[in-house]
Amino acid sequence: MITVAHSSDADDAFMFYALARGKIDTEGVQFEHTLQDIQKCNEDALKRKFDVTAISFAAYPQAVENYLLMTSGASMGEKNYGPLLAAKRPIPLEEVANQSIAIPGRQTTAALLLKRAFPEAKNLKVYPFNQIMEAVLQNEAEIGLIIHEGQLTYAKTGLVEIFNFGRWWWEREKLPLPLGGNVIAKDLEPVLQKKVNRLLKQSIQYALDHREEALDYALRFARGLDPEVADRFVGMYVNERTLDYGPDGK
């Protein structure tokens, strides 16, 4: 039995659909899936709790003794999208560091990007990623660090974009923004590691080839997203780069 942990959002559900619902031949390998917040995945990776887990790339260096990075399953921001900062009112960039900021976990890649772009920001409040917008709306924080599907829905709540890390990274590096990937335990047999890596790639390919079917499953984890918005979100983070990082993604 291979234990797998990944975040409870639509893009990961889409990615793992074929494995979770027996749509591909797993060559005798059985999988047990646990869905949880990405920060919890990061924390569990430090303890080697799961055989395979989603992980923020910012957290991977802390877990490298336990895990190998898999060749498939990455989520990349591109030149016009990625994590963002949003607030109830426009806030000048020079004032961002002085505000209270709700973040989805200190080990997330988004939190590392915030630290890089606004190193003087210290008043950080940790929330589950799906509670950050509400925290801002309820004045528990001035700014929210938005990840996952919130990148497409924040405006509907009345929040305004303050800063886009996808655009910022592209302007600096001219490269895709590595946000998260999947890792596999080093203590598994090498033959099994290769097999599981291959099966994950097949699962992603199946979802891409059977998009409507896989998206219907993913909608169960989309927290009320409109199907068209969910499709757009999945397309942002499950694509050819998810099958393989590509030369510029590596």
Active site residues: 148
Angle at 109 between CA 122 and CA 151, to 5 degrees: 95
DSSP E strand boundaries for 177-246: 177-185
In this structure, are residues 107 and 43 in contact, taking their beta carbons and an 8 Å threshold?
yes
Give the position of tokens 């068209």: 228
* 124 secondary structure, DSSP code: E
Residue 128 DSSP SS3: coil
Other CB atoms within 10 A of residue 228 CB: 8
The letter for the amino acid at 139 is: N
CA separation for the pair 120, 132 (Å, rounded): 21
DSSP code at position 62? H
Query: In this structure, what is the dihedral angle of CA atoms 116, 120, 124, 128, given to the nearest 10 degrees?
Result: -10
**61, containing H or E segment:** helix 60-63
SS3 percent helix, strand, coil of the chain, rounded to 5, is: 45, 20, 35
